[in-house]
């Protein structure tokens, strides 16, 4: 073969094309040095093109997120006075921008971790499956929203509480009421997607367990398959398989269960399908919390009611504890429950949750009783409309429940249960059944260490 005009021609006296090398001839048919053509050139080019396309899609989502937030902030610069109301048209516009912001921010985080080179390195380092990535993204976006809410509450509190604790108003409170409503509606769907992906990953692990040999009790290379083709060595599989898609450290009672956001074990359906309606029905506390906050809690009290924004600013500042809750979940998903950062963050989470979500309500009611010159806090509460009292109960009681779960989790970390050494262990060593091969009692030294030590290494 001879290369003429960039193509290989039939073999002539000078030069040959073979083994991926091409030759060129000059005008005198003199053969020049062969030009190597790498075999993997096309594959590398395809991968580079795919990476570039993924990066473009990733940063396009980031641009949409930044753009929607910029439009939302820009629409508020036109409001001249802090006491002005948000019109219905502007409120619906802010809600639409809220949906775009939170959806595009989630899409950016998912694409960054799943498709970019640095994101895949991060996944490999902490052995994250797809469901783990979705979980980390969900918690990260939750922390962002909580930071916005706290910042709005702080600004409104400083602006209105010095004027009137009961009647002062601020347009920023109503504006974020419309914008934040989109988050709570979006978050329901986001949690559902995390839930279904956990089931998909767990079912995939179960199939791999049946089809592949085990390494330390877990299928080899499961991460390569459950992680969309980009995985680590088999040594990394055990940690993620032990988590089983759980981010709270709980352990499913059977292989056919997963641990959900609150640590409760959820049975995996046989067909692997979990429709949205079933998810809503099986998670009533979270659904009531999100729907109530996203509709009545934000829109009704800030737009229809009007005024009283000093009181509502404390509700917004309750979100100060959420970033610590989200970081705890992220660290647990990354397998860092034994790290110092996890313990320090857990203590900060417990303290901020107690102050901002448990103590905040009695404090606000005490301030309210002083503002209306009531004889006591209970007298002030009893004078509230029945609907208002029910609303407070819906908001406050879940906080007590979640604080109880946090305290129980903290006790497990700082006061672990020590399994006492069985009193019959020595007796067991002398009364063991004869070994089937030697017909002699098995010595105590050959028992597993976990048994000898009574479960304590």
DSSP states along 51-73: HHHHHHHHHHHHHHHHHHHHHHH
pLDDT at 19: 45
pLDDT at 256: 60
Does residue 227 contact residue 130 with C-beta atoms inside 8 Å?
Answer: yes
Q: Tell me the C-alpha to C-alpha distance, in Å, between residue 36 and each of 8, 21, 31, 43.
A: 14, 5, 14, 16
Does residue 19 contact residue 37 with C-beta atoms inside 8 Å?
Answer: no
Q: Say whether 21 sits in a helix, a strand or coil.
A: strand
| pTM for this model (two decimals) | 0.69
- Residue scoring higher pLDDT (420 or 349): 349
Q: Which residues contact 171 (CB under 8 A, 6 or more apart)?
A: 76, 79, 81, 82, 83, 84, 85, 86
For 378-390, what is the mean pLDDT?
Answer: 84
pLDDT tens sequence across 181-226: 999 989 999 998 888 888 888 887 777 776 655 444 444 444 443 4
Q: Tell me the C-alpha to C-alpha distance, in Å, between residue 238 and each of 73, 101, 128, 197, 216.
A: 46, 36, 12, 19, 7
Residue 259 — pLDDT band, cuts 50, 70, 90? Answer: low
For 120-131, what is the mean pLDDT?
Answer: 92
pLDDT at 128: 93
Of the ranges 91-105, 220-234, 317-331, 401-415, which one carries the lowest mean pLDDT score? 220-234
Distance CA 201, CA 31 (A): 58
Q: Which residues contact 99 (CB under 8 A, 6 or more apart)?
A: 182, 185, 186
Of the ranges 5-9, 49-53, 131-135, 391-395, which one carries the lowest mean pLDDT score? 5-9
pLDDT at 240: 40
Give the percent of the chain with pLDDT over 70.
63
pLDDT tens sequence across 297-346: 677 767 766 678 888 899 889 999 999 999 999 999 999 988 999 999 99
Q: According to the per-residue pLDDT averaged within each range, which of 173-187, 247-261, 393-407 is highest?
A: 173-187
pLDDT at 101: 97
Please check the confidence at residue 443 and state whether its pLDDT lies above 50. no
The C-alpha angle with vertex 112 and arms to 107 and 117, in degrees rounded to 5, equals 160
Residue 40 — pLDDT band, cuts 50, 70, 90? Answer: very low
Q: Which residues contact 154 (CB under 8 A, 6 or more apart)?
A: 313, 317
Please check the confidence at residue 56 and state whether its pLDDT lies above 90. no
Please check the confidence at residue 440 and state whether its pLDDT lies above 90. no
pLDDT at 96: 95
Mean pLDDT of the chain: 74
DSSP states along 225-252: HHTTT----GGGHHHHHHHTT-SSS---
Q: Which residues contact 371 (CB under 8 A, 6 or more apart)?
A: 165, 166
- Residue scoring higher pLDDT (214 or 283): 283
Distance CA 210, CA 297 (A): 49
Distance CA 457, CA 450 (A): 6
Distance CA 350, CA 377 (A): 26
Strand locations in 337-456 (E)? none
Distance CA 46, CA 216 (A): 37
Please check the confidence at residue 268 and state whether its pLDDT lies above 90. no
Residue 6 — pLDDT band, cuts 50, 70, 90? Answer: very low
């Amino acid at each position: 073969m001879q290369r003429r005009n960039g193509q290989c021609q039939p073999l002539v006296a000078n030069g040959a094309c073979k083994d991926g090398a091409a030759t060129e001839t000059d005008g005198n048919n003199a053969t020049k040095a062969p030009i190597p053509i790498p075999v993997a050139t096309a594959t590398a080019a395809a991968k580079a093109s795919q990476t570039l396309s993924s990066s473009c899609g990733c940063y396009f989502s980031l641009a949409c997120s930044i753009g929607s937030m910029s439009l939302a902030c820009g629409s508020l610069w036109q409001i001249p006075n802090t006491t002005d109301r948000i019109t219905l048209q502007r409120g619906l516009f802010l809600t639409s921008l809220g949906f775009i912001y939170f959806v595009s921010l989630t899409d950016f985080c998912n694409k960054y971790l799943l498709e970019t080179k640095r994101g895949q390195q991060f996944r490999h380092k902490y052995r994250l499956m797809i469901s783990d990535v979705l979980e980390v993204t969900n918690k990260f976006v939750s922390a962002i929203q909580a930071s916005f809410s706290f910042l709005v509450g702080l600004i409104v509190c400083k602006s209105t509480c010095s004027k009137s604790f009961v009647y002062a108003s601020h347009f920023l409170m109503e504006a974020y009421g419309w914008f934040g409503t989109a988050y709570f509606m979006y978050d329901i769907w986001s949690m559902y997607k995390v839930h279904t992906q956990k089931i998909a990953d767990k079912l995939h692990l179960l199939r791999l367990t049946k089809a592949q040999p085990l390494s330390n009790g877990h299928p080899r290379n499961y991460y390569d398959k459950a992680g969309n083709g980009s995985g680590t060595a088999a040594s990394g599989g055990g940690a993620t398989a032990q988590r089983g898609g759980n981010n709270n450290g709980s352990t499913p009672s059977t292989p056919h269960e997963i641990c959900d956001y609150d640590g409760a074990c959820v049975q995996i359906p046989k067909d692997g399908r979990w429709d949205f309606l079933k998810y809503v029905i099986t998670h009533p506390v979270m659904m009531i919390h999100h729907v109530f906050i996203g509709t009545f809690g934000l829109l009704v009290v800030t737009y229809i009611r009007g005024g009283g924004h000093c009181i509502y600013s404390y509700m917004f500042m309750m979100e100060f504890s959420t970033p610590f809750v989200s970081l705890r979940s992220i660290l647990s998903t990354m397998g860092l429950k034994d790290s110092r950062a996890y313990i320090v963050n857990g203590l900060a989470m417990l303290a901020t949750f107690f102050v901002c979500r448990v103590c905040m309500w009695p404090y606000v009611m005490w301030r309210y009783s002083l503002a209306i010159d009531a004889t006591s806090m209970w007298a002030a509460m009893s004078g509230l409309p029945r609907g208002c009292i029910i609303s407070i109960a819906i908001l406050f009681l879940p906080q007590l429940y979640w604080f109880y779960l946090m305290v129980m989790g903290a006790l497990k970390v700082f006061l672990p249960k020590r399994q006492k050494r069985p009193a019959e262990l020595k007796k067991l060593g002398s009364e063991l059944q004869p070994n089937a091969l030697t017909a002699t009692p098995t010595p105590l030294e050959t028992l597993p260490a976990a048994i000898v030590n009574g479960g304590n290494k």
